[in-house]
Amino acid sequence: MSAPRQIIMVRHGQSAANIDQTLYNRIPDYRIPLTEQGVAQAKAAGEQIRRRLDGQKVCVYVSPYLRAYQTLEALNLGDLVERTMEEPRLREQDWANFQNPAEIADQKELRNAYGHFFYRFREGESGSDVYDRVSSFMETLYRHWSKPDYAPNTLLVTHGLTMRLFCMRWFHWSVEYFESLNNPGNAEVRALVSTTGGYALDTPFQQWTPAHPAKTVLDSPDHIW
């Protein structure tokens, strides 16, 4: 397998629903656009990514959500992009169809108590469901990387939780460690960079509570909600 020099991930820029969550009750999640600030954030991320690519080609996989496509457009990578593929497995975690803000707020409280990885939204997915589809996507990546003409870089334009779960799957992080991590900010970039010993994450995710990547449920105190 000819693995890429780096696997770059970028979260979409600020969306209209990041400002007004009542939009989830009126607009399908996948059709929610970026704000003007979100476009500006994505343009700044594009400058960072172009520096990382240093003139080399990149193969792009993009979530089918409007805010992800608009982020990719604002990155303005031009002829550095060898190929762009829409990848539904990189979509946001499914929470519901049209979302009732009060009901979602109640479920978020339950999720915080139960755990972000295993809690399943009533009309949507759990973090573990997203983990499973990310694992399936990795199998596709391996097949693509086996082609002799594959670009030397990979770019994923996706969502914050999906980025964390991609890294969890790649680096074999434990569930307890995943639970300690915060999402990256809008249009933040992370890269898995090839080294002699495999891949290394260039910038760690911030943690809201200390935890080691090998920490398991055996190391956690009893939890009763």
Q: 12 catalytic, yes or no?
A: yes
Name the nearest CA neighbour of 59 among 15, 98, 19, 4.
Answer: 4
Q: Give CA–CA dist 58/80, Å, rounded.
A: 6
Angle, helices 160-171/127-145, rounded to nearest 10 degrees: 70
Q: Show Cβ contacts of residue 153 under 8 Å, excluding neighbours closer than 6 positions.
A: 4, 5, 6, 7, 8, 52, 53, 56, 57, 58, 59
| Annotated catalytic residue within 86, 87, 92, 139 | 92
Q: 116 catalytic, yes or no?
A: no
Burial pattern 26-52, b for ≥16 Cβ within 10 A else e, equals: ebebbebbbbeebbebbbebbebbbeb
The three-state secondary structure class of 53 is: helix
| Annotated catalytic residue within 12, 125, 159, 188 | 12
**Residue 18 token pair:** 């990041």
Which of the residues are catalytic? 12, 92
